[in-house]
Amino acid sequence: MEDELKHILIEDFEIQSGFKIKKIELTYQIFGMPIGSSPVILINHALTGNSLVSGKNGWWKDIVGDNKPVDTKKFTVICFNLPGNGFNENGFDYSLNINLGDVALLFIEALEKLKISNLFAITGGSIGGCLTWEMLAIKNDIADKIIPIAADWKANDWLIANTYLQDRILENSKNPVADARIHAMTFYRTPKSLNERFKRTINNDKGIFNVESWLDHHGVKLHQRFSLDSYKFLNKLLRSSDITRDGISFERKIQNVKSKIDIISVDTDIFFLPEEDYETTSILKSNKVPVNNHIIKSIHGHDAFLIETNQISDIFTKILK
């Protein structure tokens, strides 16, 4: 069941640097069972996503819903909007100097306000998966199951390079949101994905290649629902991902984790590299943390976590059984 947008006010919120934010409002949606009646699964959305994870217009409606792999007849599903994503936000201060770890702290405090002391699972793709790692690093016992998808616990140099280029586009383009989205789509997918889909065909109505028309469509679509300030802010959050930003090693951060971790990688992801997930899996195993690394096989690259719904469904069915 698609639930209405809810609001929760966090006051005197202290971020990791020690600075206090007088007040910040989070919005969220709940799907499925009411809080307190069933196990809770938190889903963290991707960069241009929002809390509308299920229902007719839900961005993950093939995965989350009644009798779906994340079954809303069995679970309470909650999804917070990342602060600054612009989804029915009023008066958000985009000058706030916060990182993804601060967002993790914010979400943890919001869960406490909702009297949710333990989660059955946390999952999310891309920046949502990075945020899942951040929450685990702060509170090692936050959930029974941790399921980051097409993500990592830190921003690598390749990601930082691309977010830097995104920043340049957002600062200098005449059509910044659309142009930044066009650039982003070229590394969310792969050369093989685009080549096999479009085959150098022409859009006769527009007189351009179909791949160009497709990119234009995605640029216009995002421009219609996503502001320049939101794009800049979320881009900054993405590049800030790093659970070791305080100088404490990854090994020490996870040494007390008792959660079962299921890392889901995409074999063709050029954004969050599968070999880095393999390295993380090896470190976790050597530290006696229960972990599996599931591989989505796809020609589509990073966006496969939104496209390969059959593979995602099979993996989630096994994890959540």
| pLDDT tens column, 121-141 | 999 999 999 999 999 999 999
Q: Are residues 140 and 161 in the same domain?
A: no
Q: Are residues 245 and 315 in the same domain?
A: yes
Q: Collect all residues with Cβ–Cβ distance below 8 Å to 317 and sequence separation of at least 6.
A: 69
| pLDDT tens column, 53-110 | 999 999 999 999 999 999 999 999 999 999 999 887 778 899 999 999 999 999 999 9
DSSP, residue by residue, 116-131: ---EEEEEEETHHHHH
Looking at the predicted structure, is the pLDDT value of residue 144 above 70? Answer: yes
Q: Are residues 193 and 133 in the same domain?
A: no
Domain count for the chain, please give it. 2
Q: Are residues 144 and 176 in the same domain?
A: no
Q: Are residues 166 and 146 in the same domain?
A: no
Q: Are residues 64 and 189 in the same domain?
A: no
Structural domain boundaries, residue 187 = 157-237
Q: Identify the band that residue 3 occupies on the pLDDT scale cut at 50, 70 and 90.
A: confident
Q: Are residues 119 and 36 in the same domain?
A: yes
What CATH number does residue 181 fall under?
1.10.1740.110
Q: Are residues 42 and 83 in the same domain?
A: yes
Q: Are residues 126 and 169 in the same domain?
A: no
pTM (2 d.p.): 0.96
Question: What is the helix (H) or strand (E) element at residue 78, kind and residue range?
Answer: strand 76-80
Residue 1 lies in a domain: no
Q: Are residues 190 and 52 in the same domain?
A: no
Residue 38 lies in a domain: yes
| Strand 40-44 to 119-125 pairing | parallel
Buried b (16+ CB within 10 A) or exposed e, 59-87: bbbebbbeebbbbbebbbbbbbbbbbbbb
Looking at the predicted structure, is the pLDDT value of residue 249 above 70? Answer: yes
| pLDDT tens column, 275-298 | 999 999 999 999 999 999 999 999
CB 263 within 8 A of CB 148: yes
Q: How far apart are CA 230 and CA 226, in angstroms?
A: 7
Q: How far apart are CA 3 and CA 21, in angstroms?
A: 29
Q: What is the pLDDT of residue 86?
A: 86
Question: What is the mean pLDDT of the segment spanning 225-245?
Answer: 96
Q: Are residues 179 and 286 in the same domain?
A: no
Last residue of a domain, one of 178, 204, 237: 237
Q: Identify the band that residue 213 occupies on the pLDDT scale cut at 50, 70 and 90.
A: very high
Last residue of a domain, one of 197, 221, 237: 237
Last residue of a domain, one of 212, 237, 262: 237
